[in-house]
């Protein structure tokens, strides 16, 4: 990809946040949520979700492509417009998804109940990020309803966009929906901070992408208390040396299919996330200056050099 953004669309995570319309004051809940200062966290927009479900319910859960385009997408937020542009979200595509898999939109309504709590926890997480990394950028977060995929996209110029119906559907993410949203958004927000020189490589290696994603898992966990893709951890447990020995053999390959973006809705895949996380964690644990280590992780632009300094080796015991 020419201006390669780090997004979860390449992974087969597919859903979006829905709204429980029975909640009192839902219009207020779905207003633009902001924090007062730049170090308190980004603007969090969820009003697109409310707009979608107004169109959805008014049409008896079967809005036409024209209604979705005109009454939802065209009048949406800037974040939704960016999301639609980069991920090809159109009224036609949404209507096709609705026809094929209507349950993902009806089921997604349950996720709205966690939005206020997610917002509060993200505010705390962003405060931690500001403390750990004073150069942090606080670009907007937009949660909206899409075409069933991707779960999220994050980058250093557009902020983070979350497809909430997609995120609700992934079976191996946190069963606790509130935790799921907090940890996934924290992961994606680390991508906002990462070096553009690294993320724009048109032919990335297994090592490079694993460090991009693994560092987002490591730093996302540091600020939010959990990783975005815990299913991978369960899959890898007890097989550390075997997996990581195989990783070393493949680290310079540009065929990512054995390590990254190979999950399904039922199976996590993405073992490169886990290995990259362990390399970043090893780097942090071996560093005498922890604040400098965080800066090195976020501003990394030399994957091979970073690996060499990390102290990591296959099967390393990390606390």
| Number of separate domains in the chain | 2
Provide the pLDDT for residue 267: 67
Residue numbers of the chain with a pLDDT score lower than 50: 1-39
Domain boundary among 124, 159, 193: 193
For residue 148, is it within any domain?
yes
CA 5 to chain centre: 12
Q: Look at residue 168 and tell me if it is in a domain.
A: yes
- Whether residues 152 and 219 fall in one domain: no
Q: Could you tell me if residue 318 is inside a domain?
A: no
Q: Tell me, yes or no, whether 201 lies in a domain.
A: no
69 in the same domain as 34: yes
Last residue of a domain, one of 160, 193, 226: 193
- Mind listing the pLDDT tens digit for each residue in 198-248? 777 788 999 999 999 999 999 999 999 999 989 898 889 999 999 999 999
- DSSP result, 240-283: HHHHHHHHHHHTT-S--TTTSS---SS----HHHHHHHHHHHHH
Q: pLDDT digit string (tens) for 18-48? A: 222 222 233 333 333 334 344 456 888 889 9
> Are 137 and 28 in the same domain?
yes
Across the chain, mean pLDDT equals: 85
Supply φ then ψ for residue 151, to 5 degrees. -70, -45
pLDDT at 83: 94
pTM: 0.83
Distances (CA, A) of 188 to 126, 133, 153, 158, 191: 12, 16, 7, 11, 5
**Is residue 167 domain-shared with residue 228, that is, in the same domain?**
no
* Domain end (from 193, 218, 252): 193
Indicate whether 96 and 51 sit together in one domain: yes
Q: Are residues 47 and 173 in the same domain?
A: yes
Same domain for 23 and 170, yes or no, is: yes
Domain extent for 281: 206-310
């Amino acid at each position: 990809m020419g201006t390669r953004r780090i997004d979860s669309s390449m992974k087969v995570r597919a859903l979006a946040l829905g709204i429980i319309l029975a909640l009192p004051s839902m219009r207020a809940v779905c207003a633009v949520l902001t924090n007062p200062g730049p170090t308190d966290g980004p603007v969090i927009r969820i009003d697109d979700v409310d707009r979608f479900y107004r169109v959805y319910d008014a049409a008896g859960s079967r809005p036409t492509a024209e209604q979705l385009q005109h009454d939802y997408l065209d009048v949406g937020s800037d974040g939704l417009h960016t999301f639609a542009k980069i991920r090809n979200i159109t009224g036609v595509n949404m209507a096709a998804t609705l026809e094929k898999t209507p349950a993902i939109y009806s089921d997604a309504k349950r996720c709205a109940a966690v939005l206020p709590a997610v917002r509060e926890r993200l505010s705390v997480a962003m405060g931690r990020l500001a403390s750990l990394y004073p150069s942090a950028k606080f670009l907007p977060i937009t949660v909206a309803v899409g075409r069933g995929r991707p779960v999220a996209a994050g980058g250093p110029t557009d902020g983070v966009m979350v497809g909430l119906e997609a995120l609700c559907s992934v079976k191996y993410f946190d069963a606790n929906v509130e935790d799921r949203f907090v940890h996934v958004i924290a992961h994606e927000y680390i991508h906002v901070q990462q070096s553009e020189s690294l993320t724009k490589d048109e032919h990335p290696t297994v090592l490079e992408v694993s460090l991009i994603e693994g560092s987002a898992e490591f730093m996302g966990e540091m600020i939010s208390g959990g990783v975005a893709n815990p299913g991978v951890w369960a899959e890898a447990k007890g097989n550390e040396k075997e997996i990581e020995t195989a990783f070393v053999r493949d680290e310079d390959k540009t065929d990512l299919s054995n390590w990254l973006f190979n999950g399904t809705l039922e199976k996590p895949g993405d073992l490169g996330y886990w290995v990259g996380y362990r390399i970043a964690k090893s780097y942090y644990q071996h560093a005498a200056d922890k604040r400098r280590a965080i800066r090195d992780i976020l501003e990394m632009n030399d994957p091979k050099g970073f690996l060499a300094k990390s102290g990591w080796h296959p099967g390393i015991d990390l606390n």
